[in-house]
Amino acid sequence: MKTTLKTAAPAALIALGLATAASAELKIGASISATGPAAFLGDPEAKTLEMLVEELNAKGGINGEPVELVLYDDGGDANKARTFATRLIEDDEVQAIIGGTTTGTSMSILAVAEDAEVPFISLAGAIDIIQPVKPWTFKTPHTDRMACQKIFEDMKKQGIARIGMISGTDGFGASMQAQCKDVVADYGIEVVADETYDPKDADMTAQLTKIKNAEGVQAVLNPGFGQGPSIVTRNYKQLAIDLPLYQSHGVASDGFIELAGADAAEGVRLPGTALLVAALLAEGDAQKPVVTAYKAAYEGKFKQPVSTFGGYAHDGFALLTDAVTRAGSTEPQAIRDALEATKALAGTTGIYTMTPEDHLGLDLSAFRMLQVKDGKWTIVE
């Protein structure tokens, strides 16, 4: 899928080699998994980018110049993502790339962007993308390691020391399971039962029964994604397990409560972003104007609820436009330097402050501990 949000004629001329790109005008490339297995992540991301570019151009663009977006759909295929990244840089001659919905596609784009020295903002979770720090690569979503830390912090506060884990075996669940087990000891918490399920499984009572029978278990953590966690939550209720249940940021949406049923989801805790509880944020919260504006615009235009994932794209775009404005230039080197110097930029995911050592720029405060109360998300903090 290719969308050019300006007349196609200049692009065609450039393609034919008859004209060169005007240097002052910002051309942003994006390779997003708007279809395929990661479409539930990529679709809101693509819509968000298109919406934001339209909004920005209606307001007169950046530094008085319109912004052009070249958007491709890589379908979640890392090989395709690399081809589109090459196309964006070599053929479309963009000055920056946003995208890489999944870790695999991000790692593919990253290699091309680093090689060509073009700034790249990834929308995928894995820590490998920015660690070790690569000069041209940045990312907006918090890592699963941070989600683990936020959850364990909350458990520690509740005096929970022995937990059971039940994780999905998909990319998200398995990666978070590994990260959680890596940091759990720092919080003096012990994992006494460690179960997994296939994301396509329709029943997790066997695993939950094992966890329930584990000695001294005080809480259960479910790193997972998609419908698995909803089934876990329902089975949890059916087995009448009377322990706190923690879910991951992967299911931080109203859709989760719907799928699991408000009754079963009651009391579930998870680390989520400000976007999910926009209306509940305190007045004066730095993120409040950003998340309410984005939520209103997105839901008004697409008649769908906003998702955390669309928020990642929103923040990527905000980081980029902020950097270009500060740099006063669309040269890739200038954009990169400005991106790295981002300070206290409020996004939907958190407040970003980049440094040469940190190309994510978020800390644990980006997560809010949320709990389902009467079928609605509330902030616990």
Partner 1 sequence: MSQKHATLLVLAALIALSPLFFPSGYYYRIGALMFVNALAVTGIVILTGYAGQISLGHAGFAGIGGYACALAPVHWCLPPALAVVLGAAISAVLAWLVGRPILRLKGYYLGVASLGFGILVAMVLNNERWLTKGPDGIEVPDLGLRGLLKDVGLDLSNGEFWYGLTGIALLVGAWLALNLYHSPTGRALRALHGSEVAAGTVGIDVARVKLQAFVISAVYASVAGSLLALQNKFITPDVAGFMHSIEMVTMAVLGGVGSVPGAVIGAGILTLLPQVLTVFADYEQVILGLVMMLVMIFLPQGLVPSVLRKLRGKDE
Applying CB under 8 A, among 10, 54, 87, 153 the residue interacting with partner 1 is 87
Q: Which residues contact 339 (CB under 8 A, 6 or more apart)?
A: 119, 121, 138, 319, 320, 323, 354
Q: Is 169 in the site for partner 1 (CB under 8 A)?
A: yes
Binding residues for partner 1, rule CB under 8 A, total: 34
Closer CB to partner 1, 5 or 239, in the complex:
5
Judged by CB under 8 A, the residue of 50, 91, 194, 358 near partner 1 is 91
User: At closest approach, how far in Å is the CB of 154 from partner 1?
Assistant: 27
Stretch that binds partner 1, among 69-77, 137-145, 255-263, 316-324 (CB under 8 A): 69-77
* Residue of 48, 101, 103, 321 interacting with partner 1 (CB under 8 A): 103
| Helices 78-86 & 103-116 angle (0-180, nearest 10) | 30
For residue 135, whether the previous peptide bond is cis, meaning omega lies within 30 degrees of 0, is no
- Taking the least distance from each CB to partner 1, the nearer of 127 and 239 is 127
**Region from 11-19, 61-69, 146-154, 224-232 binding partner 1, contact rule CB under 8 A:** 11-19
DSSP secondary structure of 93-106: --SEEEE-SSHHHH
User: Rule CB under 8 A: is residue 38 a binding residue for partner 1?
Assistant: no
Closest by CA position to 248, among listed 149, 139, 104, 140: 149
CB 168 within 8 A of CB 199: yes
Q: CA-CA distance, 55 to 308, in Å (whole number)?
A: 20
Alpha-carbon distance of 294 to 306, in angstroms, equals 8
Whole-angstrom Cα distance, residue 12 to residue 178? Answer: 47
Choice from 13, 22, 55, 90 touching partner 1 (CB under 8 A): 90
Binding residues for partner 1, per CB under 8 A? 1-3, 15-17, 72-73, 77-80, 82-83, 86-87, 89-91, 102-104, 107-108, 111, 115, 126, 128, 169-171, 174-175, 178
